[in-house]
Amino acid sequence: MQSIRTVIFTSKLNLLMPFGPATIVLYYTTNWHGVIFLFSMLGITPLAERLGYATEQLAIYTGPTLGGLLNATFGNATEMIIAIYALKNGMIRVVQQSLLGSILSNMLLVVGCAFFAGGIIHRNKDQVFSKATAVVNSGLLLMAVMGLMFPAVLHFTKSEIQQGASELALSRFSSCIMLVAYASYLYFQLSARNSNYSQIGSEEVPNEDATEEDEEVEISMWEAIAWLAVLTIWISVLSEYLVNAIEGASDSLNLPVAFISVILLPIVGNAAEHASAIMFAMKDKLDITIGVAIGSSTQISMFVIPFCVVVGWMMGQKMDLNFQLFETATLFITVLVVAFMLQDGIANYLKGLMLVLCYLIVAASFFVHVDPQASKH
């Protein structure tokens, strides 16, 4: 009972919980797709946040090394579950665009808001973070862009050996390579005694001085595991309704599917990361902020996207890394902008503002973007 009280009644976001059951009721009684879509989005948001909380609690028992890994994995569990449901329905573009949107919002919006909030609070000094972390992550993100670029370039230069089949084969090959690269990155990060790299991607493993306030044991290890299971199942149930309502919502809300997938869906999975990144920036712990936001982008681009290609391969869906020119170009420019912003290891509110404004440009461009492949599905 104590653990139920801790998990359910300590977070303000949990006021949104009732939207979950409401979604299911509406789905079977009406066909207001727009409302169903919005309700399932609101219903998943607190679950994603609590999933992060349960993982953090579990991380206390497993120690920082495994904890960082767990945090990173369950931190993106929501995105992965939504992606797998969309794959099952054959909505390959929705998978690609929601994962892309997740990377974009993590890198521009989350980092931007965090830098801005931190910069406003600590106006009279520059906030610093580890350059090594930022550089390694930027490198991995650029490698991911490389993996996504070649299939798109092959497709648009029409230089494949076999039309359509070659880019799929190349995508599957690149995905396996990217998974190997990500695995070696994790190994490097977990085994490195090099203190410079200790923060990379280890989402919420705080510095030693932060331990006393951040790590209070509130629930026991088995309770944490049980909550992870319950939340994951509940999120996957709601994701199914969310994915089914996307196309109807696009018609009834009069928004392009691309805009819904790239801008609105990632809000669901990233709400928790967003809040924690900003909170850490305000406490002047930027390394953790970078670990949460950029680490999460790295993980989606190097692990979740290739993983979805492999899962699609098993399901017989032709999920590939050809994200079309528009999306690939957006991602490329974003990674470059963010890499430049992070390279000097200093944050201030101007940088934060610039990143948020960049995100507004991206959002606006997807708002007027019609997907060339929309006719095929």
What does the pLDDT read at residue 374? 53
In a domain, residue 295? The reply is: yes
What does the pLDDT read at residue 120? 94
Contact by Cβ (8 Å): 319, 174: no
Helix (H, G, I), strand (E, B) or coil at 189: helix
In a domain, residue 339? The reply is: yes
What does the pLDDT read at residue 373? 66
Q: Which residue in 76, 77, 95 sits closest to 85, CA to CA?
A: 95
Buried b (16+ CB within 10 A) or exposed e, 165-188: eebbebbbebbeebbebbeebbee
In a domain, residue 206? The reply is: no
Helix axes 111-121, 349-367, angle to 10 degrees: 150
What tokens appear for 333 in the block?
């420019």
CA atoms within 13 A on the CB side of 48: 30
Q: What is the CATH number of the domain that holds 91?
A: 1.20.1420.30
In a domain, residue 377? The reply is: no
How large is the C-alpha radius of gyration of the chain? 20
Q: Where are the alpha helices (DSSP H) in the chain?
A: 2-9, 19-29, 33-62, 64-75, 77-88, 92-104, 111-121, 131-157, 165-191, 211-214, 221-252, 257-259, 265-282, 286-299, 305-315, 324-342, 349-367
Cα–Cα distance measured from residue 367 to residue 260, given in angstroms and rounded to the nearest whole number: 9
For tokens 């039309």, what's the residue?
A: 163
In a domain, residue 374? The reply is: no
Helix (H, G, I), strand (E, B) or coil at 75: helix
* Number of domains the chain contains: 1
What does the pLDDT read at residue 72? 66
What does the pLDDT read at residue 48? 83
Tens digit of pLDDT per residue, the chain (377 long)? 777 777 777 777 788 889 999 999 999 998 888 899 999 999 988 888 888 788 878 878 876 667 766 776 777 888 888 899 999 988 999 899 999 999 999 999 999 999 999 999 998 888 999 888 889 899 999 999 999 999 999 888 888 888 878 889 999 999 999 999 999 988 887 776 554 555 444 444 444 444 434 557 788 888 888 888 888 889 888 888 988 888 889 999 888 888 998 998 888 778 777 888 888 888 888 888 888 888 889 999 999 999 999 999 999 988 999 898 999 999 999 999 999 999 999 999 999 999 999 999 999 999 998 877 654 44
CB neighbour list of residue 136: distance below 8 Å, 6 or more residues apart: 185, 197, 200
| DSSP H or E segment with residue 127 | strand 127-128
CB neighbour list of residue 130: distance below 8 Å, 6 or more residues apart: 196, 199, 287, 290, 345
Cα–Cα distance measured from residue 371 to residue 377, given in angstroms and rounded to the nearest whole number: 11
What tokens appear for 90 in the block?
């054959």
Contact by Cβ (8 Å): 50, 231: yes
Distance set, CA 36 to CA 19, 50, 88, 204, 253 (Å): 9, 22, 20, 33, 11
Cα–Cα distance measured from residue 167 to residue 323, given in angstroms and rounded to the nearest whole number: 11
DSSP 8-state secondary structure symbol assigned to residue 198: T
In a domain, residue 157? The reply is: yes
Contact by Cβ (8 Å): 91, 98: no
Distance set, CA 115 to CA 53, 137, 138, 208, 279 (Å): 23, 17, 17, 22, 11
Contact by Cβ (8 Å): 338, 351: no
In a domain, residue 202? The reply is: no
Residue-number span of the structural domain to which 78 is assigned: 1-195+218-368
In a domain, residue 212? The reply is: no
List phi, psi (to 5°) of 52.
-60, -40
